[in-house]
Structures are given as structure tokens and as C-alpha cells.
Structure 1
Amino acid sequence: MLSDNDFGVLKLCLAWASVVWWGFIVLLGALGCITARKRYRKRAQLPRASSPASSVPGVSILRPLKGLDTNLYENLESTFTQEYPNYEIFLCVADENDQALPVVNDLIAKYPDVNAHVMIGDEAVGVNPKINNLIRSYRQAAHDIVWVLDSNVMVAPGTLANSVNALDGPADIPSRSSRRRIALVHHVPLAWSSEYSLGSRIEEAFLNTNHAKMYLAINTVAVDSCVVGKSNLYRRSDLERVDGSLKPIADSTEGGVQQGERGLVAFGRFLAEDNMIASALWHELGLRHDLSCDVARNAVGSMTLADYVWRRVRWVRVRKRMVFAATMLEPFTESVVAGILASTGLRYILDTPRWLFLTVHFLFWVSVDMDVAASLAGRTVVSGPFLAAWVVREILALPIWLLAIVGNQVEWRGKRYEVMQSGEVRRVTQGGGWAEYLFGWKSKTTSNYELLSTTDE
């Protein structure tokens, strides 16, 4: 049993811990804010846009398509209008009756001088339908540099030139041997929606503030890989050396490779293949990532509140299996939990009124988040609806995390999966039920799962 003195010491230690942690999270948020200002408020020039095609690396752009995503025509057109002299486009659909095909055909007719290919039909190499959709174009791509762009993403005309510049280094600097080579260039999402449903507004507020702020801060500190797959550019020759095991290759600097299945096909067993590819390049090859000065404009379609909640639940459950410790810490990085803990600590240490601290805390937090959003968008984004959506997002963060943390099953593209260790997944084809999906409670009827080698995706 603790004595009164020991209990007092424990409370004091916890109080200081809460205040120190709050200070750390505030500094991390400020770092994200400063990074956003420096990187996005002054857009860089296009370093290779006007170079001869023979003098720049070729790039193969891969776009996986399924149905009529929001803003699809403009999203796809943004790849046809890249100010870069040497690239090809692969537009990939799994089904010959896919509704995206008329849009694709219209764009190919509009831009006959662009080297564009339509790929119809997938190849089942795993349970991830995105990988299955891309694998044929990945194999047929003419260039070593591959740029994978989701169908709901629109990019500025200079994005490819800036990204190649980040990947290879400025043309006037022949070597960067003093630093680890860049293996992957990615772009922070900037959400926008023309369909202002509640879930869409909350998703927009989340991606443009808290998500962007932490994403930029973590990538600035660069202690580990942190990448989302809206827009990623990397070398196929690097990807063909790794397998997603995250085990360092002993002779990676001499061209060593993992044994067994490698390349894009090896990542078909993951749901978050984007994050795993980035992590594999980081850990297995010992290389690093970089952000260009561009954003990936993420078109958010009509989304209900339930859609938003289950989307967040899905990715928390995936992250839980991939980065368990970081996922456990997530609630303590949020404004509500961090603020309550710090206000309680200061109340104990300095007798600071909770209401006073929390007022300052939330005013500072929302100011930083709005500044990040303004940096990404290039304009002021503060409005009544946006602020309201931000408040709802902050309030929902902890309940969503609590719901996500107790289960391992997710719904994605109309199918149910169980997330296993290291982010691998297997299809749930029968049994289970909502109790198992929500809370992981197994019923007497054992769920049947589809093995990774099954090919009906």
C-alpha cells in the first residue's frame, strides 16, 4: 500500500508528466505549422519542365480506377496536363464495364499526343484489390520511376517535375552522397468537397488540419516512415528488392535483395500497401522519403457521419496492427484528452483554473490548425461550417478510437477483412456477425476466412 507521502509524490509526477507531454505535443504541432508555411506558401519553380525529354528520367504514371469517383474527369485530366517532357500514363480498371472507361476514352481523345494506355482486367496476386488492379500496368511500365495516384486525387501541372526533382535531386547538384538516398516522394493530401454533407465536412476538416499538421511534423522529424498512398513516386528497381518484411538487407548498399517474392506483388497481402511499401524502402534498404512542394488535392465525395466514423475506424484498426505503440498513444495527441490532462496537472501544481488553461489551449490549437489549412490551400479557410466540422472532429476522436481499438475486422470496398499481425489481411467470407466486427467477440460459429492465394477478387 502506498503511504500518503508516496501517493502525493505519484500524483505530482503524473501532474508534471501530463504538462510535459502537452508541451511536447504543442511543439510537434507548431513544427507541423512552420513546415506547412515554409513548404507550401511559396511554391517552387518547375526545374525540369522545359528540359528535353532525353535529358530527364522517364516516369510511368499508374492510376487505379473503379467507378465514377468524385471529380473523376478533372482528377484524371491533371495527369494529362503535367508540365514534364517524358512520361506515360496507365489508366487501370478491373472490369470492362467500369463506369470510368467513358471518361478515360474522352481524355485520351482530347489529348492524343499524351502516351496513355488503358488497362482492362486485373490479376489476383493477393487480397488488396488496388494491387490486383495495378500489377499488369506495373509490369508493362516502360520507365523505372513509377508514380501511383489514387483516382480521387488531382495534382497541379508542376507536381511531376517537382517530384522527380525531389527524388533525384536538383539537376545542378550531381551528388547527395552525404545523405541517405531518397527512395520515395509523397504528397500531403489537401481535402476539398463540393458535396457538403456532414461526413464530408468533417473529413475535410480532419485531413486539412490535424492530419496534415501531424503528417508534416512527423516527416520533418523523420525518425521513421510515415506515408499515405494518395500520391507516391518511387523507383521500381528499389521496390523489386524488398518484400514488406521490414527486415534490413545486410548488403543493401551493394544491391542486395530479399529472398523470395518481392516487388509490388509482395504487397498484395496488405490492406495499407502504401504505408508498407514506404516502410519497406525505409527499413529494408535504409533509404528515406521526401515531400515535394505540392499537395495531392483529395476530392471528398458525399459522406455521411457514419461513413466518416467507419472510415476512421478502419484505418485505426489497420494502424493498430502495424504500429501498435503509436496507435495506443494517439488519444493523448488529441486536443481534448491532452488539454484535460494538462489542465488537471496544472491545477494540481500551480492551482491554475482549468477553465482558463483550457480556453487558452483550445484557442491556440484551433489557430495552429487553421494556419496549417491556410498554408496548404494557399488561402484563408476559416468559416463557420469549417470551424463547426473541426469541433465535431475533435469531439469524435476519442470515441472513434475506443470503438476501433477493440476489434480487428474492417469493411473496405464492400468486403470484410480481418487485419492480422503487421497489417496483413484475410477476407472474411462467412460467419462472425456484428459482435465480432465491432468488438472482436467470437461466436460459437467460427468465421471462415479466405486465404491470400484465393483469386476471386
Structure 2
Amino acid sequence: MESDTGQSPLVTSSTVRYYLSIVCLGWYAVHWSLQLVGMYAARRRYRSPCPRSPSSSAPPESVPGVSILRPLKGLDTNLFENLESTFRQEYPNFEIIFSVANEYDQALPVVQALLEKYPNSNARVIIGEEVVGVNPKVNNLIRPYREAKHDILWVLDSNVTISPGALARAVDILTTTPGSGKKISLVHHVPFATVSTPTLGAKVEEAFLNTTHAKMYIAINTLALDSCVMGKSNLYRRSDVDRLDGSLKPHTGDTPNPSAERGLRAFGKYLAEDNMIASGIWHELGLRHDLSCDVAHNAIGDMSLKDYILRRIRWIRVRKHMVLSATLLEPLTESIALGTIAALSVRSLFDISYLFFLSCHFSAWLFVDLDVYCSIAGHPPPQGSRTSFFVAWMVRELLAFPIWLYAVVGNQVMWRGKKYKMLRNGEVEAVKPSAISGLESALTWLGARGRKSLDQYEPLPLSHS
């Protein structure tokens, strides 16, 4: 076909469609490659039992000491079992420091019971936070961080249970120079969700963490593309964190900006302090992270679907202000959008049926997700809960784009009953309660139903450290 001037047009709609289809299939292939890396890395790392560390039975003076920090707030699901797993670590040289913001905290009776059960343990409680920013977890950690006896710190969330050999194996990784020559300065554990109350929100959260999240988390860390750390269970050196200023800019030599605040205090202005600390270690110090073969068992309680939605909205908005480009591309990594784009492309290029392609696509996607689940769980979904798992998995996939679309246009988030406004680079500022919208206020109230009032608890006669 020629134009009025007698010359062939340089670009036709079919040409544009052809090259656009090629680009889309290229993106599809790249993302599938990343998924397969996650699947095979999960198989290699988690399908075999973790080896016993030699340091588990070594003399105390022959291994580096570790201070285990467990910041607490309220009664998390399975709190007694979560905290007890800390006392049962097979490692000869560690201390445990629990910390709460005030003496009325609901977690204190649980801690008291554990201290009585393990009277010979090297464990203590610090009561009273030190406010250095808007992040309550950082405020709760400042004193134990400063008063810890050892340089190696293991920060564990209160809703996490860990296996007895996890500490020894993590220390082995931290203190061994890898073949790449890049020093490991942070060891973390992939979270594996366990549900105690099978509400829809809890099941959807379980499906998300144990499939999509685990798959990409393992893949990105295996390829070492960039810092990607979730703060459920992190082991690092205080001496490294003390060099960080939160700028994420490489230091010139070993001396950070002398006018900048350094150490844990510098991260009190961020909501995702765990990710920022890990990013600081990676970008400011040029050091690396590594995953252990252990998993962090994350106990999920009575989570409604609205709780789940609010949680996903929160972290999408946090990521938007930290890694904007990746957040904007996120829908194109989800099964429905990615499959639809690829189906249109193969229809255009190869005249393959949409229905046939999408059937293959979703079957393969589900297979990979289940394979990752089996790797980190050590077994398939339990027989009695497979139907509910598949339903939750489908709900998660269907909700992914609507949640992203709502989240990406806003800048305010709810966290532990308080509202924050996201600022640049992941920083936050508190928002007055009156600024909470009617919808989000209702969702927060519904998510907090059934929780006991602090007024029902009496302070325990624990000594203040």
C-alpha cells in the first residue's frame, strides 16, 4: 500500500502491533525466568533439612556472642510459643532482650511466664521507649540496641517462631566470607505464614506470603539484583549499622557525612526501617545480604479481608516512595495482567487461541506457586485445607490490581491504629486522627474488633532495665 505521494509509509499499524507484541513477549519471558529462578532456588535451599552447625555445641568463648532483640507490643498470635523459640536456640553464647514501650503492655505477662520457665537464661526486659522518630518499632528498639552486650544483633518480630538451630546457622553465614568476596553483613529468613484462625483475610495473606511473595523474594535475593529484605528476622552487626546515615549513598572511605545522624536513630523517620537498614548496608557500605536455609514462621491471627487490604495498601504506598519505577510496573508482574498481555501477543503473532494460552498460563503459574509453597513448608498444602487455599490464592490474584490501583493514587497509610503520610524516600510523618477518612476509619475499627483494652491489664512487678 502506498501513500498519496507514491511512497510506502514507514510505519503501519501492523508493524507497530508486531513489534509491540515482541516487546510484550520479551517481558513475559523475563518475568517467567525470574519466577523459575525463585522456584528452583527455593527447592535447592529449603527442600533438604538444614545441616547442624558445628558452633551449636562449641564452647561459649569460641563463638561470637549474639544479642537477640525482641520488640513487643500487645498480644500477637502464639506469642508465648514465638518468644519461647528464642530461649531454645542451640547456640552457646547469646542474650535475650525484650522491650516494651510501657509497663501496661499486654505482652509483659507472657514474658514474665517465660522468665519463670527459664530461670537460668540470660534474658531481661527493658520497659520504656526512647522516642527518636515516628516509627514506634525503632523507638522501642533504641534502648536494647544501645545496651546490648554483643555487636551481633538478631532482631526478631514478636509474631515469628524460629527453629532451634537457626541462630547458629545464621552466625555461620555472617562470619564466613563467600566465594564472591563480597562480605555478608546481614542474614535474613524468608517468612512462612501459618494461620491459627482460618478467616478469609488470614488465608489470603497466607497464600500471598507463601507463594507470590516467597517466590519473588527468593529470586531477587538469589540473583542479588538489589537489597530486598523483610524485617521479620534479621541478623547484622551493630558496628555496621552505626555507620549508616540512611542516605543510601556510598560513603567516601569509611567516614559517613559527619553532620548526619547515624545508627538506628537515623531510621526512626521511616516506616519500613528494616528495608531501609538493609538498603543502607547494601548501598552505603557496599556489603551484601544472604538468606539462611531456615524460615521465619509468621503466625497470622484473626485477620479480616479488610485487614489484608489495608496491609497491602500500606506497603504499596511505602514502596511507591522508595522504588517508584518498580511499584508502577508491579501490575505487569501479576498473573492476570501479564497473562492477558501475553495472550494478546501470541494471538497477534501466532494466531493461538486466547482461552488455550490463558489456560496454560494460569496452570503453569499455579504449579510454580505450589512448588514454592512445598519447598518452604516441607509439604504440600494440608489435605483438609486445599480447597480454602486455592480459593484464597484466586482471591489474592483477583484483588492484586484493584488494591494496587487504589494504593498508588494515595499517600496516607494506617499502621497499628495510627495514620501516617508518606514523604519522599520512604519517610513518614504522623497525621492527626481527625484527618482519617470515614472509610479507612471504619476499616481500622473493623480490623481491631475483639482486642482487649489496655485498661484491663495491670503492670507487672518487673524491674526496669
TM value normalised by structure 2: 0.90
The structure 2 residue matched to 1:163, chosen from 170, 182, 191, is: 170
- Judged with a 3 Å threshold, the aligned counterparts in structure 2 of structure 1 residues 23 and 84 are, in CA distance, closer, same or farther, namely same
- In 1: Cα distance, 2:49 partner to 2:241 partner: 30
Q: Distance in 2 between matches of 1:9 and 1:437?
A: 47
User: Which among 245, 250, 253 is matched to residue 252 of structure 2?
Assistant: 250
Superposed counterparts of 1:58-457, under 5 Å: 58-169=65-176, 176=178, 179-252=181-254, 256-259=255-258, 260-381=260-381, 383-429=386-432, 432-434=435-437
What is the alpha-carbon distance in structure 1 between the residues aligned to residue 201 and residue 252 of structure 2?
47
> Which residue, out of 25, 37, 43, partners 1:37?
43
Contact 2:73/2:106, CA 8 A, preserved across alignment: yes
Inter-partner Cα distance in structure 1 for 2:223 and 2:179: 20
Offset, 1:13 = 1.3
Matched AA of 1:434: S
| 1:453 corresponding residue in structure 2 | none
1:163 deviates by 0.5
CA distance in 2, matches of 1:307, 1:406: 19
Task: Report % sequence identity.
Answer: 56
- Render the CA deviation track for 1:197-238: whole Å, top value 9, x for unaligned: 000000000000000000000101112100000000000000
**Residue aligned with 1:261, SS:** coil
Cα offsets for 1:11-65 (capped at 9, x unmatched)? 1111111111111111111110101110011122222100111011100000011
8 Å contact kept, 1:407–1:437: no
CA distance in 2, matches of 1:430, 1:78: 37
- Cα deviations across residues 374-424 of structure 1 (Å, max 9, x unaligned)? 111111116111111001101100000001000000000111000111000
Q: Which letter maps to 2:395?
A: V
Task: Deviation per CA, 1:112-141: give whole Å up to 9, x if none.
Answer: 121001111101000000000111111000
Task: Look up the SS of the partner of 2:360 in the other structure.
Answer: helix
Other-structure match for 1:450 = none
Q: Residue type of the partner of 2:127?
A: I
Q: Answer yes or no: is the 8 Å Cα contact 1:163–1:233 preserved in 2.
A: yes
Assess, with a 3 A threshold, how the Cα gap between structure 1 residues 50 and 269 changes in structure 2: closer, same or farther: same
Q: For residues 211 and 227 of structure 1, what CA distance do their matches in structure 2 show?
A: 12
C-alpha distance in structure 2 between counterparts of 1:5 and 1:139, whole Å: 65
Q: Tell me by how many angstroms 1:258 deviates.
A: 3.6
For residue 25 of structure 2, the aligned residue among 9, 19, 36 is: 19
Asked if 2 retains the 8 angstrom alpha-carbon contact of 1:64 and 1:92, the reply is yes
Structure 2 counterpart of 1:192, which letter? Answer: T
Pairwise CA distance, 1:431: 5.1
CA–CA distance in 2 between the matches of 1:3 and 1:103? 76
How far apart, in 1, do the equivalents of 2:50 and 2:172 lie?
11
How many Å separate the matches in 2 of 1:433 and 1:85?
49
Contact 2:419 2:433 in 1 (8 A): no
Deviation at 1:429, TM superposition (A): 1.3
State the distance in 2 between where 1:9 and 1:119 align: 68
How far did 1:159 drift?
Answer: 0.5
Supply the distance in 1 between the matched residues of 2:178 and 2:202 (Cα, whole angstroms).
42
Could you tell me how far apart the structure 2 residues matched to 1:288 and 1:9 are? 45
**Pair 1:56 & 2:63 matched:** yes
CA distance in 2, matches of 1:381, 1:33: 16
Code of the residue aligned with 2:323 in structure 1: it is V
Contact 1:242 1:258 in 2 (8 A): no
Q: Secondary structure at the match of 1:313?
A: helix
Aligned partner letter, 2:101: A
2:234 and 2:144 map into 1 onto residues whose CA distance is 16
2: distance between equivalents of 1:278 and 1:321? Answer: 16
The alignment partner of 1:418 has SS state of strand
Q: Tell me, what secondary structure is at the counterpart of 1:49?
A: helix
Q: Which amino acid aligns with 2:19?
A: C
> In 2, distance between residues paired with 1:306 and 1:345?
35
Rounded to whole Å, the distance in 2 between the matches of 1:195 and 1:177 is 44
Contact 1:407 1:436 in 2 (8 A): no
- How far apart in 1 are the matches of 2:433 and 2:185? 40
1:164 counterpart SS class: helix
CA contact (8 A) 1:41 1:378 kept: yes
Give the distance between the partners of 2:308 and 2:436, measured in 1 at CA: 21
Aligned residues: 430
Query: Secondary structure at 2:432's aligned position in 1?
Result: strand
| Post-superposition offset of 1:178 | 5.3
- SS of the aligned residue for 1:228 comes to coil
Check the 8 A contact 1:148/1:232 in 2, yes or no: yes
Residue identity matched to 1:39: R
Amino acid of the structure 1 residue aligned with 2:343: S
Partner residue in 2 for 1:443: none
What RMSD, in angstroms, separates the aligned Cα atoms of the two structures?
A: 1.8
5+ residue gaps, structure 1: 170-174, 439-457
Q: Report the Cα distance in structure 1 between the residues aligned to 2:272 and 2:64, rounded to whole angstroms.
A: 28
CA distance in 2, matches of 1:96, 1:431: 28
Change (3 A) 1:306 1:3: farther
Given that residues 215 and 226 in structure 1 are in contact (C-alpha distance below 8 angstroms), is that contact kept between their aligned partners in structure 2? yes
Measure the CA separation in 2 of the matches of 1:264 and 1:97.
25
- Structure-1-length-normalised TM-score: 0.91
Distance 1:66 1:418 in 2: 22
Structure 1 residues 137 and 357: alpha-carbon distance in aligned structure 2, compared to 1, 3 A threshold: same
